[in-house]
Structure 1
Amino acid sequence: MNSKGQVTIPAVLRARHNLHEGDELDVVDDGGKLCIIRRHGSDTRGQRLVRGMRGHGNARDTAGMSTDELMELLRGE
């Protein structure tokens, strides 16, 4: 634990429990043991990504484009 009270969760455990940067966790006292649990009702990583992207695109620019045209646009071809 560092001077700010922050704790590092090892990568193996983060992967095993599907934890990602920005996930909200709680630390609870369970009979003398500290347990780290995912905060109930917090947004998933995907929900946070979508919220961050919302309003940054312009569907009018791509309306009516074919899949090939969209792929060219995305690849910068």
Structure 2
Amino acid sequence: MSAEIKLQSRIICPECGHATLETMPEDACQYFYDCTKCGVVMKPLPGDCCVFCSYADVKCPPVQAESSCCR
């Protein structure tokens, strides 16, 4: 029995610390995210497939499902 995939994740800006609750795409990796407070454009850290894996409290759905991702 597999764990439920979470689609809501709180993404936290590394520049200003602003946190925003977002709904993640279920079948794609999001490479860029604009902070709604300071405007910085976030990009995945080396080794991560998307901004949610780098800057959010919940990893992206493909990683949660342990399926192939956009790496």
Greater fraction of residues in strand = 2
Q: TM-score, normalised by structure 1?
A: 0.21
- Of structures 1 and 2, the one scoring higher in RCO (CA 8 A, sep 6+) is 2
Q: TM-score, normalised by structure 2?
A: 0.22
Greater fraction of residues in helix = 1
